[in-house]
Structure 1
Amino acid sequence: MKPTYYYTLYPDTFLWINETEGVMYNAKEHTYLSFDIHGLIKKYCLMLNELRNLYTIDVSPEDWEDTDLRSWMLDTVENKMGCLIEYSDTESRPISFPPLLNLQSDVDRIEKEKGREVGEYVAYNWNELSLFLGGQSEHPDYCRQFLYPIADEHFLDIQTLETFLATANNTYLLQVNVIGDILQYPYKKQLMCLLGGLTAKVCLYMLGDNAKGIGDLLNSSEFDKDKYELKLYYAGQNSFDEINRMLADSSISFSWMYIILGESDIEEMEEMKQNNVNVEIIPCPAFTGDNLDFFEQYIYTCKEDITVCSYDKKDIFAHQVMNSNYWGRLSVFPDGSVYSNINNPPVGTIKDTIYDLIIKEMKNRSAWRLTRDVTPECAKCLHRYLCPPPSNYGFVIGKFNLCHLK
């Protein structure tokens, strides 16, 4: 029997199903559709996911009469997931290529192939370095959630750091974050010279109160204003106003990080933004153990966030194999420990080579490859590739499914 139509999904359309539900997402049009799986709809979805069918199914006259199936297909067409092409004796059967990830560079695959080593991609995979200087910190636990000064009576040894960077391939290092009161760092001048020799951008993270004396540093010969950016944690109106005045005529880029613990902080931050329209103020939520209700209301992912996401095909592929929150990032603590994620044990020390540190991290899934596929709470969720990757908030809260999806 000749088909009535060909039903074809577009190459940018992803289809995920389980026993009862299905989800489609077009990464080019950024359209989303969820639906129930039953009857012929389930049969067609299973056939579409068979690679040999090339995302095209023959729709028989009998199947076309099925109200649920026809309504579902028309709904997917309306949402730009695919198309219905009327059968013609003179036209060839359409084909479409499902969006499949090229695993040529996947770590698991490389390890299985003879003549290849994970290390062949090491230089490309180190893009960001965070240096925690040590000293005092008002909230030392915040460093487990975002870049924030830690409390440590010791300071990062500059000679060991120099050796570490001198023996590393820094070609693809794009950014260095320096976290802590650099003005109190005993090796400040040597550090500035060391950073000046790198091509990477440098971000200085410090408390607003600690930045009051930064004027001398900005005017020093070692300080290239085009290379540096200041990230200042709001610590009160007085230091906020004073530093804004000091930096107003400076060409250096700077922004304020505003710690958010609850609704009142959001209101205060918004008022501050309105009163300082020329100053960048970035919200920085912090979990304290007592504000879970706030996180559930304002931070957790909801269904609406998913339906309006704008991921392209590369984003979806990335979510399948890597964690963009951690990938390419290493952090160094004052004692020389090196972390791929400071919520996990260190991958080594600053006395190890960059090569060895990255190889160790890439062979496990502790951070760089911590995807929702390997987190038990999310592994079977149809939306796992449409959600942001697991983050530090999941570690400190104690679960990774920070969402309102079932």
Structure 2
Amino acid sequence: MKDFIVLFPETFLWFNESEGLFYNSNAKKFFTFSCNELIHNYCLLFNDPANLYSVAIDHSDKQDALFSSWLDSIVKYKIGAIYSIENEEKKPFSLPPILNLRDEIEEAQLDKNKYYSSINIAEFLNEMSFFLSGGGLPDEEREYYKQIIYPYSEESFLELGVIHSFLEKSNTTHLRQVNLICSDQLIYPNIRDLIGLFVTHGIYVTCYMPGRYTDAFLQIIDILQSTNFTLKLYFITIGDFTKIQDYIKDYSIQYNWVFLIKNENDFLLCEKIIKDHNLTKSDILPVLTSRNFDFFEENIFISRDNIENLSLTKQNVFCNQSINSNYWGHLFILPDGNVYGNLNKKPLGSMREDAMELIKREINDPESSWKCTREKVTPCKDCIFRNLCPPPSNYEFYLNRFNLCTIKCMT
């Protein structure tokens, strides 16, 4: 009679030499454990695909108190089970949760130009953000666009003809979302024609602009009322907010407010406005300044409690292991016509090129933001929580620091 410890197929395992973590993707719960040499060796055996998540237990190993407690926890938390088998040829097994890539990926390694055809690449393009510009911004706000979707400080405009040409020569079959980000004074030439361009393409559009009660705002409302576009308004002052709320209620326009949070007072005001006006779809976005890193660290950094509340499915974990969902499928275009996969990095090229070629460039880049997971950045790659944590964000690229968290992992 021989005992086998078998992990269930919904169980993920991550570990280093000091500690480890089991995640049950059905129950959406995890438990952590300390590693000694014995437990570490068993974890290595679990991670060998040839063992199919099944490892024979040496009875002498149960004399190790930490190991014995570890086995009990696996059963207690429904991470796996222990089976007693007489015939080792009939040993139990399980299928580890390993992401199976398509066969074409292997072909791509041999002939990327063949695999990454315009048709295949088109599937990856889901969203574009056009920074229209047309006005300057205060110094403190000029790099907000690297952290969140926010207007770019530039007096010139991204021309309508250039946008039209870029869309016409690119395969936009799978493009589902376009963001138009406007500067403080919406004096964009041919704004009605620009919006009409996306209406004819059948693309869902969100317009971002400062929430100021001005002629520009009234102009946008007049144009958007005949579309199904969404309007996102950056909160500026309570006076502008009140006037816009009173005015826009008479129009069937989808809209919501965007609150930028730089300190505790910003958050308290935002909280009060949302409650007093029963706002159900507001965006609350923290922004880094030269003076508020302590606030960021105290209130925005990811904690263990945050991760416990994420409730990730098996597919969510696979996604975290393979792509960066903050960037994947999204191109950003600045007023000078340069196109980016990440606004904190160098441009992929310009709008003079086919979007499919730009996407190839991003995907084939060893430092691709679209494929930048926690597995690839320091110190996250050594952390047992790396595949439960959200993927690297704009804030981290902006700071060039990839551990905006309060979790201290042992290595």
Do these two structures clear the TM 0.5 threshold for a shared fold by scoring above it? yes
Contact 2:374 2:387 in 1 (8 A): yes
Which residue of 2 is the match for residue 72 of structure 1? 70
Contact 1:29 1:80 in 2 (8 A): no
Matches within 5 A, 1:170-209: 170-181=172-183, 183-209=186-212
Deviation at 1:289, TM superposition (A): 2.0
Deviation at 1:84, TM superposition (A): 2.2
Counterpart residue identity of residue 5, structure 2: Y
Which residue of 1 is the match for residue 338 of structure 2? 337
Quickly say closer, same or farther: Cα 1:101–1:90, change in 2 above 3 A: closer
SS, match of residue 42 in structure 1: helix
d(CA) in 1 for partners of 2:182 and 2:171?
25
Which residue of 2 is the match for residue 162 of structure 1? 164
Deviation at 1:154, TM superposition (A): 0.9
- Per-residue CA deviations over 1:195-220 (Å, capped at 9, x if unaligned) read 11122210000000166643444344
SS, match of residue 214 in structure 1: helix
Moved more, 56-65 or 276-285: 56-65
d(CA) in 1 for partners of 2:97 and 2:130?
39
Counterpart residue identity of residue 259, structure 1: L
TM-score, scaled to structure 1: 0.92
d(CA) in 1 for partners of 2:104 and 2:388?
20
Counterpart residue identity of residue 205, structure 2: V
Among candidates 363, 367, 370, match of residue 368 of structure 1: 370
Quickly say closer, same or farther: Cα 1:96–1:401, change in 2 above 3 A: same
Contact 1:22 1:34 in 2 (8 A): yes
SS, match of residue 246 in structure 1: helix
Counterpart residue identity of residue 203, structure 1: T
Deviation at 1:65, TM superposition (A): 4.9
Moved more, 177-186 or 155-164: 177-186
Quickly say closer, same or farther: Cα 1:279–1:96, change in 2 above 3 A: closer
Quickly say closer, same or farther: Cα 1:91–1:212, change in 2 above 3 A: farther
4+ runs deviating over 6 angstroms: 105-109
d(CA) in 2 for partners of 1:64 and 1:258?
56
Deviation at 1:104, TM superposition (A): 2.6
Gaps of 5+ in 2: none
Counterpart residue identity of residue 28, structure 2: H
1:6 and 2:7 equivalent?
A: no
Which residue of 2 is the match for residue 134 of structure 1? 133
Which residue of 2 is the match for residue 385 of structure 1? 387
d(CA) in 2 for partners of 1:234 and 1:40?
57
Which residue of 2 is the match for residue 358 of structure 1? 359
Contact 1:104 1:110 in 2 (8 A): no
SS, match of residue 202 in structure 2: coil
Counterpart residue identity of residue 249, structure 2: A
Which residue of 2 is the match for residue 274 of structure 1? 275
Quickly say closer, same or farther: Cα 1:108–1:335, change in 2 above 3 A: farther
Contact 2:225 2:253 in 1 (8 A): no
SS, match of residue 103 in structure 1: coil
SS, match of residue 284 in structure 1: strand
SS, match of residue 11 in structure 1: coil
What is the identity percentage for the equivalent residue pairs of Structure 1 and Structure 2?
A: 34
Matches within 5 A, 1:250-261: 250-261=251-262
Deviation at 1:113, TM superposition (A): 5.3
Quickly say closer, same or farther: Cα 1:87–1:211, change in 2 above 3 A: farther
1:309 and 2:310 equivalent?
A: yes
d(CA) in 2 for partners of 1:188 and 1:280?
26
Contact 1:377 1:399 in 2 (8 A): no
- Per-residue CA deviations over 1:218-275 (Å, capped at 9, x if unaligned) read 344x7544x2111100000111011111221322211111110111111111111111
SS, match of residue 379 in structure 2: coil
d(CA) in 1 for partners of 2:226 and 2:264?
39
Which residue of 1 is the match for residue 407 of structure 2? 405
SS, match of residue 102 in structure 2: helix
1:21 and 2:19 equivalent?
A: yes
Contact 1:212 1:239 in 2 (8 A): no
Deviation at 1:85, TM superposition (A): 2.8
SS, match of residue 316 in structure 2: helix
Counterpart residue identity of residue 396, structure 1: Y
Which residue of 2 is the match for residue 45 of structure 1? 43
SS, match of residue 94 in structure 1: coil
1:151 and 2:153 equivalent?
A: yes
Moved more, 376-385 or 195-204: 376-385
Deviation at 1:25, TM superposition (A): 1.0
TM-score, scaled to structure 2: 0.91
d(CA) in 1 for partners of 2:368 and 2:51?
37
User: How many residue pairs get matched?
Assistant: 402
SS, match of residue 133 in structure 1: strand
Deviation at 1:116, TM superposition (A): 4.2
